[in-house]
Amino acid sequence: MKVLRRGRRISPRGSRRRAPLARDNRRVDRERLALRRGQAKRALRLALVASVCGFVGYHAVRMADARGWLSPFRVREVRVVGAEVASPAVLVAEAGLIGEELHYWSVLDPYVHRVRRDPLIESARFQRRFPNGLTLEVKERRPIVLLALERLTPVDGAGIVLPVNPFHAEWDAPVLDVAARSSRAQVIQGGRIRDEVVVGAVSWLEEVGHRYPELAREISSIRIDAEGMLTLHLVHAAGEVLLARDTPVDKMGWVDEVIRDLQEKGVEFTRLDLRFPDQIVVATGR
């Protein structure tokens, strides 16, 4: 053992004291254990309080309903907004609201999901009207084309077949002729278009409608041949417009300018060919 000048003793090398460190560790472990126990007790108390409140609230609502205290809040009227083709009565029945005893605060998600399964409905939601009314707001699918096979079939931009009369007064959709390509059984399966070329043509036409609405309204019919080439016929022009499967939508912006220029010059065209990159080939009449 070495002794310093001031009388302080030091331990030899390799013999460090570890007892204070062990005591500190045990104290930290006890504090952590006490903290966990406190948290568990608080969680248990909250769970017990929630269970008691739920039990009391459930029976209180049942008692209030049995005595007629909740009658003013029972849903008595359902309005349907946005239905132009679909029947409001059919939508209410599909939602499962007929015969249901609902209140102003009832959960409505299951009923909304049932309405959205209707092929005519693109989106739907409920709005509550205090104290006892509901408003069903729907957005209907609209046809992009009338698919011509054995009969005209309305189809929307997602390729979903709409089970309604194609000759609706407010619908102005071009006819899509695919008879030269395949039969109805090959094109439509499970209420949707399955042919990739036809799906691409419908998506292409929907994009044209978004970007060039006036030009889209001028398209009266579209024909798809066996190779997938598209031939467009316009309402106020005698000629036809040819497109390839990969013709970009941007190129349709040129068509309106070319037709207007030809009309100003008094030139009638028989064909506008958009299959070539960076140019439109115009074939004029004799």
List the CATH code of the domain at 71-140: 3.10.20.310
Strands 145-148 and 152-155: antiparallel
| CA pair distance 25, 205, nearest whole angstrom | 73
| CA pair distance 147, 154, nearest whole angstrom | 6
Place of tokens 């190779």: 227
How confident is the model over 203-254, as pLDDT tens digits? 999 999 999 998 899 999 999 988 888 999 998 888 899 998 888 898 888 8
Q: How far is CA 213 from CA 32, 209, 253, in A?
A: 69, 5, 11
How confident is the model over 179-195, as pLDDT tens digits? 766 666 678 888 888 88
Confidence (pLDDT) at 1? 45
| pLDDT tier, 91 (very low <50, low <70, confident <90, very high otherwise) | very high
| CA pair distance 211, 214, nearest whole angstrom | 9
- 283 neighbors 269 (Cβ within 8 angstroms): yes
Helix and strand numbers (H, E) in the chain are 7, 13
Confidence (pLDDT) at 278? 81
Which architecture does CATH list for 145-284?
3-Layer(aba) Sandwich (3.40)
Hey, which bits of 1-132 come out as E strands?
77-81, 121-129
Whole-number average pLDDT of the chain: 83
Name residues whose C-beta falls within 8 Å of residue 81's C-beta, 6 or more positions apart in sequence.
135, 136, 137, 138
pTM: 0.69
